[in-house]
Amino acid sequence: MTIILNGQERMAPAGSSVLALLETLGLAPGRVAVELNGVIVRRDTFARAILSDSDRIEVVHFVGGG
Amino acid sequence: MKSDTLTIGGRSFPSRLIVGTGKYPSFEVMRRAIEASGAAMVTVAVRRVDLSKSGDALLDFIETRKIAILPNTAGCRTADEAVRTARLGREAGLSDLVKLEVIGDDKTLFPDNEGLLQATRVLVKEGFTVLPYTNDDLVVAKRLRDAGAAAVMPLAAPIGSGLGVQNPAHLRLLLEEIHDIPVIVDAGVGTASDASMVMELGADGVLMNTGIAGATDPEKMARAMRWAVEAGRLAFEAGRIPKKPYASASSPMEGMVRRDGPSA
């Protein structure tokens, strides 16, 4: 299936969870925040949040700023 | 009140200086500057993870057991954008603190008062501890306070300009009138005397980034800012002397050694 990850199209296996996606990307779940179709996904539900075709996912973290 | 304690939304921080984490030549330079500044809170930005590269993580260079993270909504131009970014920041950091920015003009980065108020109301309702970055405008500051902001953060000068306090009269009025929540001067500090000046005016704290990160020696400037903030605060608490137009001798005239005659 195709998902939109941080504004870019990307293929992901059907039925992937947010947690599986983060693992594929090599990201530590404790350091990021995830938004799925505009709604925050709580960190303790990453494993249960299942992605669907055309989902829009934002994965953010902290960077230097003032 | 302890000179070096800043209390925001019921939480106490052992420094009145808050520093940013942007624009440093490296994370290691940033880490040393934060340590030298003595800051107990640092601002960070919330951005998309760059999936094309892996690198050091900012948080690896911040002692998060001792230093509070204050996510900002920098770059947001609408209340909706800012609220969305604040929610992401809370989730990433698991803290309710947010430095709320809603920018209304690209050249000056001046705040959009209307958007700022809107976003403040929404976030307060959602349980955030909201620290809005605002103009040096007393009426806006009062409205933000009435909307539930935990502090107000008026600018000294445009973000990153290093111009120092451009409008001391307005800042003074604001500081005279806002007492129930902290007033933290945010943005425009260029060097140590700027930081001292806002603290002497009675600010509860100062937030700065470029003034330290952009200095030739950020670690040394961070130390200068630390002492400047403490010195300014102590001077404010000590109560300065009134200004007088003419001299007033510090040494007694009595008992002067004169060439002839009795003492004057």
pLDDT at B260: 73
**Given CB atoms, is A6 within the 8 Å cutoff of chain B?**
yes
Joined together, the tokens standing for residue B79 give 């209340």
User: Cα(B226)–Cα(B115) distance, rounded to whole angstroms?
Assistant: 33
- Assigned token pair, B148: 């539930």
Q: Return the number of other C-beta atoms located less than 10 Å from residue B127's C-beta.
A: 9
Segment B97-115, tens digit of pLDDT? 999 999 999 999 999 999 9
The fraction of chain B above a pLDDT of 70, given in percent, is 98
Burial of B218 (0-12, 13-18, 19+ CB in 10 A): buried
Confidence band of B1 (pLDDT split at 50, 70, 90): low
Question: To which H or E segment does residue B154 belong?
Answer: strand B153-154
pLDDT tens per residue across span B66-93? 999 999 999 999 999 999 999 999 999 9
CA distances to A10, A47, B258 from A54, rounded to whole Å, are 10, 19, 97
Amino acid sitting at position B211: G
The domains found in chain A, sorted by start residue, are 2-61 (3.10.20.30)
Instruction: Return the residue in B31, B41, B42, B48 with the most chain A beta carbons within 10 A, the one to mutate for interface testing.
Output: B48
- Residue A57 in contact with partner chain B when CB distance is under 8 A: no
- Per CB-CB distance under 8 Å, the chain B contacts of A43 are 91, 94
B44/A40 touch (CB, cutoff 8 Å), yes or no: no
pLDDT in tens, B196-215: 999 999 999 999 999 999 99
Answering whether pTM is above 0.95, one says: no
Residue B261's pLDDT band (boundaries 50, 70, 90)?
low
Cβ separation B23–A27 shorter than 8 A: no
CA atoms of B100 and B116, how far apart (whole Å):
7
Contact list in B for residue A38 (CB cut-off 8 A) is 84
- A58: nearest CA partner in chain B: B48
For residue B195, how far is the Cα from the chain centroid? Answer: 9
Q: A33 and chain B: CB distance < 8 Å anywhere?
A: yes
Structure tokens at B155: 């600018």
Q: Give me the residue label for tokens 């929404």.
A: B122
Q: Is the ipTM above a cut-off of 0.90?
A: yes
> Which residues of chain B does A64 touch, with a Cβ-Cβ cutoff of 8 Å?
20-24, 27, 30, 44-45, 58
Within 8 A by CB and 6+ apart from B82, the residues are: B73, B76, B100, B101, B102, B115, B119
Give me the mean pLDDT over the B176-201 stretch: 96
* Residue B107 annotated as catalytic: no
Query: Does residue A27 sit at the B interface (CB-CB below 8 Å)?
Result: yes
- pLDDT-derived band at B263 (thresholds 50, 70, 90) equals low
The four Cα atoms A27, A28, A34, A36 give a dihedral, to 10 degrees, of 60
Confidence of residue B4 (pLDDT cuts 50, 70, 90): confident
- Write down the pLDDT at residue A29: 92
Whole-number pLDDT of residue B258: 79
For residue B221, what are its two tokens?
A: 């400037």
B174 membership: H or E segment, kind and range: helix B168-177
Question: Residue B257: pLDDT above 90?
Answer: no
Comparing B88 with B57, the larger pLDDT belongs to B88
Our CA-based measurement puts residue B238 at a distance from the nearest CA of chain A, in whole angstroms, of 31
User: Mean pLDDT for chain B?
Assistant: 95
Question: Could you tell me whether strands B17-19 and B129-134 are parallel, antiparallel, or unpaired per DSSP bridges?
Answer: unpaired
